[in-house]
Amino acid sequence: MLATAQQAQQAAGSKPAQIDRNGVLILIRSTLLALDQANKTGNYTVLRDLGAPAFQVNTAARLAEIFAKQRSDNLDLSGVAAIDPQLSLLPQIEPNGLMHMSGFFPSVPSQVNFDLAFAPVNGQWRLFGLSVALGQAAPVAPAPQPLVAPPPAASPAAAPVARKTPTTPERKTVRPTPPKH
């Protein structure tokens, strides 16, 4: 008998989060736009202050260090305001009480991948951890490579064609999380 995704989550101790689509969109967009504004201004105070107390152990200066590469690359996340995210992990409550979700914004030329965790604080979900990475928007065909000439004795129709295998792009991932005690 095959287990459903929901049964697999429950077996692992996770359970679906009771949150509607609009609530999910607000959490995802507000988090990524706060990161975008922090990267553009170099001021991570608001991003820090929006987080749960466990996230706030990261100082604004520490968050600036964590996101320095994205800032220097001029990563623009503003498109998340207009594009609907595609969730690869529906919001679920982990055994530790955190709500976890993952997905991507299918933008061009690069999609924005995200992994977010939120902690319940006074009846609200507040940022606990985030990971943001750029990826390819769609599979990319490899660049044409020259054909390898067949050996003189082989017929051209029977000769194998050698091509280079495409490489996977490097992921830029960061996850500010509080230090473990």
Q: Confidence class of residue 148 from pLDDT cuts 50, 70 and 90?
A: low
> What domains are there in the chain, each with its CATH number?
14-136 (3.10.450.630)
Q: Encoding tokens for residue 83?
A: 């594009």
Those residues whose C-beta lies under 8 Å from the C-beta of residue 17, and which sit 6 or more positions away, are 90, 91, 92, 93, 99, 101
pTM above 0.75, yes or no: no
Amino acid 163: pLDDT? 39
* Mean pLDDT rounded to a whole number for the chain: 79
What local confidence, expressed as pLDDT, does residue 113 receive? 94
pLDDT of residue 160: 41
- Among positive and negative, which fits the CA dihedral 59, 61, 65, 66? positive
pLDDT digits (tens, 9 = 90+) for 100-123: 999 999 986 789 999 999 999 999
Measured CA to CA, the distance from residue 66 to residue 88 in angstroms comes to 25
DSSP code of residue 143: P
Question: What is the rounded distance in angstroms from the CA atom of residue 67 to the CA atom of residue 173?
Answer: 9
Q: Are 48 and 59 in contact (CB under 8 A)?
A: yes
| 10 pLDDT above the threshold of 60 | no
pLDDT confidence of residue 141: 55
Q: Which long-range contacts (CB under 8 A, 24 or more apart) does 78-85 make?
A: 78/33, 78/36, 79/105, 79/107, 79/112, 80/28, 80/29, 80/32, 80/33, 80/36, 80/105, 80/112, 81/29, 81/33, 83/107, 84/25, 85/25, 85/28, 85/114
Query: pLDDT tens-digit profile of 59-99?
Result: 999 999 999 999 998 888 998 999 999 999 999 999 999 99
